[in-house]
Amino acid sequence: MPDDRPVAEGERGGALVPIRPITPEPAPLPDPRRSDVDGWGRSERARALCRLLYDPIYRNWFRAEWEGLEKIPVRGGALLVANHAAAIPSDAPVIIHGIETELKRPVYALADFLFRQTPVVGTIWSRVGGVAAHPDNAYRLLREQKELVLVFPEGTKGTGKTYANRYRLHRFGRGGFVEIAMRAGVPVIPIAVVGAEESMPTLWRSSALARALGLPYFSVTANMLVLGPVLGLLGYFPAKFKLRVLDPVSFDVPPDQDRYSRSRVMEEAEGIRVSIQEALYDMLRHRQSVWRG
Amino acid sequence: MAGTGRRVLVTGLSTFWGGRVAQALEQDPSVEVIVGLDTEEPTVELERTEYVKADQSYSILKRLVKATRVDTILHTFLVVDSTRSSSRALHELNVIGTMNLLAAAGAPGSSVRSLVVKSSTLVYGAGHRDPYWFREDMSRTSRVGTAVERSLLEVEDYLSDFADDNPHVTVSLLRFANVLGPDIRTPLSRLLDLPLVPAIAGFDPLLQFVEENDVVRAILHVMDRGISGIFNVAGDGRLPWSECAALCGRRILPVLPPFGAERMLAAFDRFTELPPEVLSLLRYGRGVDNTRLTSTGFRYTCTSAGAVDAYAEAARLRRIVGDAPAYRWERDVETFFRTSSAVVRDER
């Protein structure tokens, strides 16, 4: 049995005053890893490959344009909150790619547990930075690892909505994202995204088919009509993407509390929802064309 | 002899863990008496541990505790590998055995002041709604589907009742992650031994391991320091199943179908040694937060990847030179070495 307590040099010398053993920082254990997959399943190599492949789509297809990117901190945790659209969301990759290439720091994206159950897709999703949206996962990433975390509080209600309801934000869940930011002591940074709605518009939804397939929604998109049912899943229309980063919202509350005032949480969540909604209306007012921006 | 040292009872002496723990205790001069209880004979060489044979449900315990006046019980015999016994035997050993143990330890006038139980992170299950790092106070999100998980959860319930009823006893419950190391055989190590390592198609879960020596060190750590509470014991970090195979010089073979693998395995039950709880692990993986134990001063000697590597090194050697000869316990030989006047003993 090796003794865990370190012994300082002075103890052997017979000093009259016992020298308190100095606890040295324990040497890091040998960690014979073969891959660079971290504890969340993310691999920087997979991310780099993904960025390489996605960059032409980001630049030439969606022609993403940012406004206020300097409001996202270069270090320290922050919770990025955006509106969510398109049956197969096109906004998440654009946001992640933009921030990672411009700010050179990783973004972890929270998503529905459904991803973890899906073979192949779930594994790839996890390697490129997807994390299941468990409050404790978000807390660890924000508080302990001080990372950027992206969340879409509308969830599947945002991506499942039909084209007629585009750019009309749904309820922001039960404000869980505000509570996590409060607990982690990080600001919420709202992002308004224009373009995702038109990249894959939902024309019709079938709740019966969704139930039968065990999916949160089943959409028939315009892309499917144009490109066929298979290509229509991946072929986005080249809508012009514009993203506006709004002012960070900080909450003047102590972190690590068991619970926070429910009314305060709901109020803050609604405030953030309204600010994104207003930014969207403003951006749409100035938009000349869906395709050229 | 002056009765100042600790008097320790180890349950499951003949299991891998019981034997290891008893061997480590023998090295500790502050431990005066070591009594080992099991239904079968010890499988490792022991110098001063007294072996007592018990029946399946350990009904002898009450008498034994009273007679030996042990102050510490190390409960290491909980079965966590369900390929080793039927579900009925498992219930008998885990649940009824622990009930008898707790009854003996909590009897009026009992001398027991410290109880350490070796449980498993199997109690958290493995599911798609799980947090990536379970803390000790979090409960599982997946349904309890297997006999071994059910029995461990029942044991933990009994234990928490026992701790409430006996505030004078230091109760510590250790939940160990999947163990790998040079010597232990587990369902996962058997998979890694195959020329092509089976995996569920489309899944590459993140797993966490603890090295076998860290298991024994953790049990002795909480015993020595008298720390009570529930602790996860697992090496730092998690790594994908494909990387575990790579560390062992193996490749993954995604033979198990992504859907209905459970039913397929049930059909081939006789031929495989793949318990259902391993299947959900190969799908979703499991991670636990180990900071509560390290904050009590415990230092691991291996990370998760280090534990896989320790196993891989031993497996490479084993493939060349074969298994080490097994130890066989002989009552006459043991009695001779312990009691015969012909044996020259060092004065302690």
Q: Chain B within 8 Å of A131 (Cβ-Cβ)?
A: yes
| ipTM of the modeled complex | 0.86
DSSP secondary structure letter of residue B290: -
Phi, psi of B37 (to 5 degrees): -115, 135
Please say whether the beta carbons of A167 and A58 come within 8 A.
Answer: no
Through-space distance between the first and last CA atoms of chain B, rounded to whole angstroms: 11
DSSP secondary structure letter of residue B202: T
Query: Given a cut of 90, is residue B54 above it in pLDDT?
Result: no
User: What value, to the nearest 5°, has the Cα angle with vertex A271 and ends A250 and A152?
Assistant: 80
- State the pLDDT at residue A204: 87
The tokens describing A165, both together, are: 């309801």
A281 lies in some domain: yes
Report the largest interatomic distance among the alpha carbons of chain A, rounded to a whole angstrom.
88
The predicted-structure confidence for A37-79, as pLDDT tens digits, reads as follows 999 999 999 999 999 999 999 999 999 999 999 999 999 999 9
The answer to whether the Cβ–Cβ distance between B243 and A31 falls below 8 Å is no
Q: Which residues contact B239 (CB under 8 A, 6 or more apart)?
A: A33, A35, A37, B206, B207, B304, B305, B308
Q: Residue B188 forms beta bridges with which residues? A: none
Strands A148-151 and A107-111: what pairing?
A: parallel
How many residue pairs from chains A and B have C-beta atoms closer than 8 A?
92
Which residue out of A36, A37, A180 would a mutagenesis test of the B interface target, given it has the greatest number of B Cβ atoms within 10 Å? A37
Domain count, chain A: 1
Q: Which chain A residues contact residue B28 at CB under 8 A?
A: 1
Which chain B residue is nearest to residue A138, measuring alpha carbons?
B131
The answer to whether the Cβ–Cβ distance between B284 and A116 falls below 8 Å is yes
Q: Which residues contact B27 (CB under 8 A, 6 or more apart)?
A: A1
Q: Write the single-letter amino acid at B196.
A: L
- State the pLDDT at residue A2: 47
DSSP secondary structure letter of residue B49: P
Residue A253's nearest CA partner among A183, A190, A188 is A183
H-run or E-run covering B240? strand B239-240
**Whole-angstrom distance, CA of residue A102 vs CA of residue A58:** 13
Most confident of A19-23, B37-41, B189-193: B189-193
Q: Which residues contact A209 (CB under 8 A, 6 or more apart)?
A: A218
A28 lies in some domain: no
Which has the higher per-residue pLDDT, B47 or B149? B149
- State the pLDDT at residue A14: 46
Neighbours of B348 (CB within 10 A): 7
The predicted-structure confidence for A214-271, as pLDDT tens digits, reads as follows 888 888 899 998 998 888 888 899 999 999 999 999 999 999 998 899 999 999 999 9
Query: How far B229 CA sits from the closest chain A CA (Å)?
Result: 20
Q: Write the single-letter amino acid at A90.
A: S
Q: Which residues contact B61 (CB under 8 A, 6 or more apart)?
A: B37, B54, B100, B101, B103, B104
- Burial zone of B7 (CB within 10 Å; 0-12 exposed, 13-18 middle, 19+ buried): middle
A215 lies in some domain: yes
When pLDDT is cut at 50, 70 and 90, the band that residue B319 belongs to is confident
Which chain A residue is nearest to residue B299, measuring alpha carbons?
A4
- Burial zone of B41 (CB within 10 Å; 0-12 exposed, 13-18 middle, 19+ buried): middle
- Burial zone of B60 (CB within 10 Å; 0-12 exposed, 13-18 middle, 19+ buried): middle
Query: Given a cut of 60, is residue B1 above it in pLDDT?
Result: no
A247 lies in some domain: yes
- Burial zone of B147 (CB within 10 Å; 0-12 exposed, 13-18 middle, 19+ buried): buried
The tokens describing B31, both together, are: 């431990």
Report the largest interatomic distance among the alpha carbons of chain B, rounded to a whole angstrom.
66
Query: Given a cut of 60, is residue A12 above it in pLDDT?
Result: no
Residue B213's nearest CA partner among B298, B275, B133, B326 is B298
**Whole-angstrom distance, CA of residue B240 vs CA of residue A253:** 38
SS3 B339: helix
Query: Given a cut of 70, is residue B215 above it in pLDDT?
Result: yes
Q: What is the mean pLDDT of residues A15-42?
A: 76
When pLDDT is cut at 50, 70 and 90, the band that residue B57 belongs to is low
Q: Which domain holds residue A47?
A: 36-285
The predicted-structure confidence for B69-124, as pLDDT tens digits, reads as follows 999 999 998 888 877 777 888 888 889 889 999 999 998 888 999 999 999 999 99
- State the pLDDT at residue A43: 95
Strands B6-11 and B72-75: what pairing?
A: parallel
SS3 B281: helix
DSSP secondary structure letter of residue B288: B
Which residue out of A3, A35, A36 would a mutagenesis test of the B interface target, given it has the greatest number of B Cβ atoms within 10 Å? A35
Categorise residue B58: left if φ over 0, alpha if ψ from -120 to 50, beta otherwise: left
Strands B251-256 and B170-176: what pairing?
A: unpaired
A125 lies in some domain: yes
Q: Which chain A residues contact residue B209 at CB under 8 A?
A: none
DSSP chain A: ----S---GGGTTT-SSPPPPP-PPPPPPP---SS-B-TTS-BHHHHHHHHHHHHHIIIIIS--EEE-GGGS-SSS-EEEEE---TTTTSHHHHHHHHHHHHH---EEEEE-THHHHSTTHHHHHHHTTEEE--HHHHHIIIIIS--EEEE-TTTHHHHT--GGGTT-PPP-TTSHHHHHHHHHT--EEEEEEESHHHHS-EEEE-HHHHHHHT-S--EEEHHHHHH-TTGGGT----PPPEEEEPPPB---S-SS-S---HHHHHHHHHHHHHHHHHHHHHHHHT---TTT-
Please say whether the beta carbons of A104 and B97 come within 8 A.
Answer: no
Strands B206-207 and B239-240: what pairing?
A: antiparallel
A13 lies in some domain: no
The answer to whether the Cβ–Cβ distance between A37 and B28 falls below 8 Å is no
Q: Which chain B residues contact residue A29 at CB under 8 A?
A: 236, 300-303, 306
The predicted-structure confidence for B280-318, as pLDDT tens digits, reads as follows 999 999 999 999 999 999 999 999 999 999 999 999 998
Q: Which chain B residues contact residue A137 at CB under 8 A?
A: 131-133
The CATH number covering residue A245 comes to 3.40.1130.10
Helices (H) and strands (E) in chain B, counts: 13, 13
Neighbours of B74 (CB within 10 A): 27
A240 lies in some domain: yes
The tokens describing B197, both together, are: 């390592």
Residue B92's nearest CA partner among B125, B52, B59, B119 is B59
When pLDDT is cut at 50, 70 and 90, the band that residue A11 belongs to is very low
The answer to whether the Cβ–Cβ distance between A39 and B220 falls below 8 Å is no
- State the pLDDT at residue A8: 45
Average pLDDT, rounded, for chain B: 88
Phi, psi of B167 (to 5 degrees): -65, -15
**Whole-angstrom distance, CA of residue B235 vs CA of residue A29:** 10
A115 lies in some domain: yes
- State the pLDDT at residue A27: 77
**Whole-angstrom distance, CA of residue B238 vs CA of residue B234:** 10
- Burial zone of A255 (CB within 10 Å; 0-12 exposed, 13-18 middle, 19+ buried): middle
Please say whether the beta carbons of B150 and B138 come within 8 A.
Answer: no
Q: Which chain B residues contact residue A119 at CB under 8 A?
A: 200-203, 258
